[in-house]
């Protein structure tokens, strides 16, 4: 693992998004209960933090242009990979399957914290948080660990949303959203 500031920042971005992820399905569900668009609420969870990270990067230009680009870039990439990609794929796949748009947004949001929590277990699997996590691996073991991590982050929320749609709870959510 690199001792550079930006490597530590990337870990904090990941942990921050992991910690905030349970709020996503809660706010999407709450928006549906109060008659608001669940899709707009879901999109706001990606767009608003992205705009805030750009503002933070612009504010950090006073300190250093390179540091500002590092911070804003890592926040944006973290948002897009950890939240935007799984949520977008989940909603898109459920739309193609004929799920109601509001239910698709809620089901995709429910899968997000589960996928991130399991990716955290993959991150810690080689030995724990303080020493020998997947950032210390090299060679084929590193490729396998990072591939499993990325699959847990991106594909697991989508798979969970599709599986949940097929259950009684998912059918009830789909019926209520139409």
Show the tokens assigned to 163: 């599986």
* 111-133 confidence digits (pLDDT tens): 899 999 998 888 888 776 667 77
Q: Taking a C-beta distance cutoff of 8 angstroms, is the pair 154, 111 a contact?
A: no
Show the tokens assigned to 30: 């709450």
CB neighbour class for 5 (10 Å; exposed up to 12, middle 13-18, buried from 19): exposed
* 5-63 confidence digits (pLDDT tens): 666 777 788 888 888 888 888 888 888 878 778 778 888 888 888 888 878 878 877 77
Total of domains in the chain: 1
Average pLDDT score over the chain = 82
Q: Taking a C-beta distance cutoff of 8 angstroms, is the pair 150, 134 a contact?
A: no
Domain assignment of residue 78, given as a range: 5-177
Who's near 24: CB < 8 A, 6+ residues apart? 42, 45, 83, 87, 109, 112, 113
């Amino acid at each position: 693992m690199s001792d550079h500031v930006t490597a530590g920042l990337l870990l904090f971005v990941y942990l921050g998004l992991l910690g905030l992820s349970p709020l996503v399905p809660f706010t999407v569900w709450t928006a549906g209960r109060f008659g608001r668009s669940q899709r707009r609420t879901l999109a706001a969870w990606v767009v608003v933090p992205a705009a805030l990270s750009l503002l933070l990067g612009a504010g950090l230009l006073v300190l250093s242009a390179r540091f500002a680009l590092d911070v804003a870039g890592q926040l944006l990439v973290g948002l897009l990979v950890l939240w935007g990609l799984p949520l977008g794929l989940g909603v898109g796949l459920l739309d193609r399957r004929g799920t109601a748009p509001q239910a698709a947004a809620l089901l995709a949001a429910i899968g997000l914290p589960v996928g991130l929590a399991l990716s955290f277990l993959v991150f810690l699997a080689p030995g724990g948080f303080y020493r020998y996590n997947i950032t210390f691996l090299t060679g084929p073991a590193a490729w396998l660990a990072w591939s499993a991590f990325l699959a847990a982050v991106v594909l697991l929320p989508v798979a969970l949303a599709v599986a949940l749609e097929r259950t009684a709870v998912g059918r009830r959510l789909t019926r209520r959203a139409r």
